[in-house]
Amino acid sequence: MVLLICITVGMRGNTVHAQGTEEPVDTGQAAGETSESGLADPYEDDDEETQPAEVEEIAERIDPWKQFFPPPDSQFDWLRLTSGEWLKGELKSVYNFQVEFESDELDTLTFDWDDVSVIRSAGLQAVRYVDVENSPEPLVTRGQLTLINDTATIGSGPDAITINRRQIVSIAKGTQKERDFWSGELTIGANVRSGNTEVTDSSIYFLVQRRRAISRFFADYRASFSSTRDVETQNNHRVNTFFDQFRTRRWYWRVVFAEYFRDKFQNVENQFTIGTGAGYDIIRNSKTEWDVFGGLGALYKQAVSVEEGEDAGNTSPAITFGTTFDTELTKRLDYYIRYVGRVVDEANGQYIHNLVTTLSSDIVGELDLDLTWVWDRTQKPAQAADGSTPDQDDYRFTVGISYEF
């Protein structure tokens, strides 16, 4: 099967042909004996069933393909996947555990970093990598790149640098454009019911982020609206943002984080939080990201209404902590969860929690189906002027269509 794949793709101009090896693959057939496809069939035998010993012999015949390495090439970059398939073309970039490779026949392809086993560049590449022992900041070196499994060599001769692939932060063939660092997502959900009940539900989520090897910026906005027979039953808004600078490969300084929240049904007219802190990437690879963070700051909350004699606005020191987990369950299914907790004074709620979890499934292209569950909890909600007290817990479930860009 490996032999057939390599030759088929090679006919498209992106792999090598069998005659590219120094020694032909011995198929065990006499000259001139070919299968219907024109290729020698190593499975052809007088017996109806192939015995285990013969299977091992066949594997040994095909194995030389695994040893193949393209000859020196000053024009094209070469890339091999963990499946054994070779591609010829141009390595565009490696960033955020994604490899972008352009082929004349297959156009631009994107692979997970873990799915690439070999890279050999024809020209110079700018490789950004971490070397904690010699520099707390990522370093950049330029040269021809040869990556084989876990070992990467940049340059040649006595000046060559050899590092582990885990040290690589990014690879670029020149200066990346500003737009290459940005990505985003827009999700819209709606539910309209009429007849015996007149209910309208809608939600919106917008995310934008800028990611570089040494820093990242994140901002998102989430809102939900509901009404029953033109009577508003839900109206909440939450904006989160932060800016991180990586001090080592895993430790980062959250230079600033901020949040704005509003929900009059939770008796919150305005709530602002701002602070600074630090975080640690527990897992960060092409399929899973998991980090934890904590920080100190201040929180200001203004209630919609309060009992007579009480202050509507209060400011409190705030201890903030949380975690974010994002993983690719399958090729078409992603799971995301983010939790943020805060410890404040009793007048502002004492303990405030926010949890968002999303199951996302690919539909077509950049469109996804998102199932999102949101939980808000305030340990001691502010009592309203009429004597009522909002529930401690508030839950929302939304279904939406998202577009990634």
Residue 42, number of CB atoms within 10 A of its CB: 20
Residue 48 lies in a domain: no
pLDDT digits 0-9 by tens, 264-300: 999 999 999 999 999 999 998 878 999 999 999 999 9
Spell 4-24 as b/e; 16+ CB within 10 A means b: eebbebbeeebbbebeeeeee
Confidence of residue 145 (pLDDT cuts 50, 70, 90): very high
Residues 345 and 213 in one domain: yes
SS3 303: coil
Is 60's pLDDT higher than 70? no
Tell me whether residue 222 is in a domain: yes
Q: Is the pLDDT of residue 347 over 80?
A: yes
Predicted pLDDT of residue 68: 77
Strand 182-193 relative to strand 199-211: parallel, antiparallel, unpaired? antiparallel
The answer to whether residue 17 scores a pLDDT higher than 50 is: no
Work out whether the CA dihedral 139, 101, 243, 376 comes out positive or negative. Answer: negative
Residues 256 and 361 in one domain: yes
- Rounded to whole angstroms, the Cα distance separating 391 from 312 reads 19
Contact between 79 and 69 (Cβ < 8 Å): no
Residues 264 and 340 in one domain: yes
pLDDT of residue 63: 57
Q: 93-102, 289-298, 340-349: which has the minimum mean pLDDT?
A: 93-102
Q: Is there a single domain that holds both residue 220 and residue 170? A: no
Residues 191 and 127 in one domain: no
- Within-domain flag for 24: no
Asked whether residue 352 is domain-assigned, the answer is yes
Query: Is 249 a domain residue?
Result: yes
Whether pLDDT at 181 is above 90 = no
Confidence grade of residue 318 (pLDDT, cut at 50, 70, 90): very high
Can you give the pLDDT at residue 136?
66
Residue 208 lies in a domain: yes
In a shared domain, residues 218 and 304: yes
Query: Nearest-5° angle of CA 355, CA 259, CA 402?
Result: 60
Q: What CATH number corresponds to the domain at position 302?
A: 2.40.160.40
Express each pLDDT in 188-220 by its tens digit: 998 777 776 678 899 999 999 998 767 899 999
Report, as an integer, the average pLDDT of 66-76.
Answer: 80
pLDDT digits (tens, 9 = 90+) for 242-253: 999 988 778 999
Q: Does some domain include residue 356? A: yes
Task: Single out the residue in 175, 192, 222 at which a domain terminates.
Answer: 175
Q: With bands split at pLDDT 50, 70 and 90, how would you rate the model's confidence at 151?
A: very high
Rg (Cα) of the chain, in Å, rounded?
29
Same domain, 168 and 188: no
Say yes or no: 115 and 152 in one domain. yes
Residue 3 domain-assigned (yes or no): no
Do residues 82 and 134 share a domain?
yes
Residue among 253, 277, 273, 248 nearest 262 (CA) = 273
Residue 36 has pLDDT above 80, yes or no: no
Same structural domain, 262 and 372? yes
For the stretch 209-226, what's the b/e string if a residue is b when 16 or more beta carbons lie within 10 angstroms of its beta carbon? Answer: bbbbbeebbbbbebbbbb
Give the pair of three-digit tokens for residue 69.
């390495």
Q: What is the mean pLDDT of the chain?
A: 82
Q: How far apart are CA 333 and CA 266, in angstroms?
A: 33
Task: Check residue 174 and give its pLDDT.
Answer: 55
Looking at the DSSP assignment, which residues form a beta bridge with residue 318? 297
User: Domain range holding 126?
Assistant: 70-175
Residues 394 and 302 in one domain: yes
Of 142, 175, 208, the one marking the end of a domain is: 175
- Are 391 and 254 in the same domain? yes
Number of structural domains in the chain: 2
Domain boundary among 146, 175, 204: 175
